Amino acid sequence: MAPPSSPWLQGFRPVAAPRRTLVCFPYAGAGAAVFRDWAPETGPDTELLAVRLPGRENRIGEPPLHRVEDAVPAVLAALEPLGERPLTLFGHSLGSALAYATARALVAGGGPPALLAVSGRRAPHLPSRRPPSRGLDDAAFHARLAALGGTPPEVLACDDLMELMLPMLRADFAMSDAFLESDPPPLPVPMLAFAGDGDAEATEEEVAGWERLAGAGFTLRTLPGGHFFLHEHRAAIVRQLMKGVLANE
């Protein structure tokens, strides 16, 4: 199959006749490449596509977005050529909000995904326990990035690189901070959630709150680790994802 033509989607491995597609949404500050190593583990019948937001990788010259809702129409348009092939949406942290908003739009359009998987993110109706990042000066914002642990120390230590990345990072955090829904209705979609047992950013209880939105079944998997447990447990997460996909086909 030809690679996706949209700048919003990145494929990593050609699949001649895919039966299903796994669409992955990255966390704040990340690009599509964080899911490159997932492709070999999804099996021969599954195409993996990763979402690439403006402001990073080969889209670094584009202005970043500040609201989840601003990304959804373009993601939907990029997915449209896939036709009626079953979709599984997976997102980590900010990516969970993006995956959920995309799933909600697909449901509204009459083509719900086969599975929605969220990871390392509180449910949409739960407010953040941290103050918004927009009020932080650069030093405090830098400290927050360091505390989260997702940015390599060599990147944090490079002033020129941080100056280049700062607008995108601040926009991503603003996007994450602003996504809150006081009373979201359940989606008619099975949901799978992943939590880290040492994740101070999204506790197991907060991740379990997604069950309120699961109108077609909910499963919570808790794994060892902090906020970026998805890197340590990539194989286990992909295995659970594919198990969930097959169970809901």
Percentage with pLDDT > 70 across the chain? 98
Over its C-alpha atoms, the chain yields an Rg (Å, rounded) of: 17
What mean pLDDT do residues 181-185 have? 89
- Residue 93 is a catalytic residue: yes
What mean pLDDT do residues 43-49 have? 91
Among 133, 176, 227, 233, the one annotated catalytic: 227
Q: How confident is the model at residue 1 (pLDDT cuts 50, 70, 90)?
A: very low
What per-residue confidence (pLDDT) applies to 73? 96
Among 93, 96, 119, 176, the one annotated catalytic: 93
What per-residue confidence (pLDDT) applies to 4? 62
What per-residue confidence (pLDDT) applies to 144? 83
What mean pLDDT do residues 163-168 have? 86
- Residue 96 is a catalytic residue: no
CA distance 70 to 179: 12
pLDDT digits (tens, 9 = 90+) for 132-154: 888 788 888 888 888 887 777 77
Q: Are 19 and 46 in contact (CB under 8 A)?
A: yes
What residue ranges define each of the domains in the chain, with the CATH number in brackets? Answer: 9-247 (3.40.50.1820)
CA distance 85 to 103: 14
What per-residue confidence (pLDDT) applies to 190? 96
